Amino acid sequence: MATLTNSFEGGTAGDTITTGNSGGSSGDAWTLTGDTAGGSCTYSATGPSHGSRCMAVTLGATGGAVRRGWSVNAADSTTSQWLRLYVDPGSVSGTTSPARGMNVGSGAQRWRLQVTAAGVVSLHNNTNGAVWSSTALSAGQQWRVEVMVGGTTSSTGRVWVYAGDATTPSQDSGDLSAVNFGGPTREIWYGQTNSAANIALRLDEVGWSDTAPLGPATSPTTSGALAASLPPLSVAAAGSARSSGATTVLLPGLSAALTGAARAPGAASVSLPAASVALVGGASSAGVLAAGLPAVSVWAVGSARAAGLVAADLLPMVAAIAGRSADTGPAKAQSASDVAGRRRSAAVVSAGHASRSEVTRG
């Protein structure tokens, strides 16, 4: 059981697609080629469905085929096979056959997919009779066409047409019963796969499988430095932070929320879910601590002395400080502290020409 795909991403725009340059980052290298004089099958930077490259096929007045393919199904199994391609009808000139199944040596057709410039997709059996046709697909839109084919003269086939990477088909043939596929498919071809003249088309993200339908292609991954565009970071602190020199500030727990999108150079876009970081404990920064702080309340109970003149007993004092602090010198805030030891009280009485001072030691 196998699956083969090619995205054309590893090629250089304008170069002919060959068996030698079609592997690597493009996917599975082609094992079969077939070109008519005057025709071309090249990598193109115009009109890819994903990434930056696709296959461009042209044929002039000289009729023939221009195609690339894989040898498949070495076991000659008659079970179902699936294929996929992306096409924009706006890139199509004439009546094209972008995919075709053949026997070994391409001596006999098993089936053929046809796409016209009007955007009509049709599946044909081994005698080239149409077994299903779509309604016209709009130009300027990438359409994903997926096909199931059998390997006998009376097998089930099916065609699904999706808008780009959608998971619900825009058109579905339903099971096509008793289709004459002539026998097992042994070669799968893409491009202009039968003889024709004056045609052009572009294809992308082609694939084949004998396992299951391929589904949507995935966008290529671009490696390199990550450049991120992020919303503001909010921080709420909790723990202890100390700035060199003096200030000690008790803070609530630290949390950071990060959400947004990051883009890698080239194309890939990455969406980041919300992330949170919790920091509890002590953080020390050398230098000056500048912090956006919530309201801070300080209570002082005891005695305060004014140097040189007056020492007075005070009632409890409440001071509120809120805003942004940047402390560089010695400073300490204490709450609910009791002052014990020496106590001085002084009173100054002045009446007329007389004055008296008294100092009491306890």
Per-residue pLDDT tens, the chain, 362 aa: give them.
899 999 999 999 999 999 999 999 999 999 999 999 889 999 999 999 999 999 999 999 999 999 999 999 999 999 999 999 999 999 999 999 999 999 999 889 999 999 999 999 999 999 999 999 999 999 999 999 999 999 999 999 999 999 999 999 999 999 999 999 999 999 999 999 999 999 999 999 999 999 999 999 986 544 443 444 445 444 444 444 443 444 444 444 434 333 343 333 343 343 434 434 333 344 433 443 343 434 433 333 333 333 333 333 333 433 333 333 334 343 333 333 343 333 333 333 233 333 333 333 33
Q: Where are the domains of the chain?
A: 3-209, 227-354
Contact indicator for 146, 207 with CB cutoff of 8 Å: no
Closest CA to 204 of 87, 43, 33: 87
Contact indicator for 222, 95 with CB cutoff of 8 Å: no
Measuring CA to CA, how many Å separate 63 from each of 32, 60, 155, 199? 20, 7, 32, 9
Tokens 């990477």 sit on residue: 165
| DSSP annotation string for 9-38 | TTSPTTSBP-SSSS-GGGBSPP-EEE--TT
Q: What's phi and psi for 91, nearest 5 deg? A: -90, -5
| Ramachandran area for residue 183 (φ above 0: left; ψ -120 to 50: alpha; else beta) | left
In the 8-state DSSP scheme, what is residue 253?
P
d(CA 48, CA 152): 35
Q: What's phi and psi for 345, nearest 5 deg? A: -130, 140
Could you tell me which residues come within 8 angstroms of residue 113 by beta carbon, excluding any fewer than 6 positions away? 83, 85, 97, 98, 99, 100, 121, 122, 123, 124, 145, 147
Could you tell me which residues come within 8 angstroms of residue 9 by beta carbon, excluding any fewer than 6 positions away? 25, 26, 51, 52, 53, 220
Task: Read off the amino acid at residue 54.
Answer: C
Predicted local distance difference test score (pLDDT) of residue 219 = 60
pTM for this entry: 0.63
Paired strand residues for 86: 144, 204
d(CA 190, CA 47): 17
Predicted local distance difference test score (pLDDT) of residue 220 = 55
Contact indicator for 95, 121 with CB cutoff of 8 Å: no
- The token pair at 245 is 């020199």
Predicted local distance difference test score (pLDDT) of residue 226 = 40
Q: Which CATH number fits domain 3-209: 3.40.50.2300, 3.20.20.70, 1.20.120.550, 2.60.120.200?
A: 2.60.120.200
Predicted local distance difference test score (pLDDT) of residue 201 = 97
Contact indicator for 112, 193 with CB cutoff of 8 Å: yes
The SS3 call for residue 182 is coil
- The token pair at 335 is 């709450």
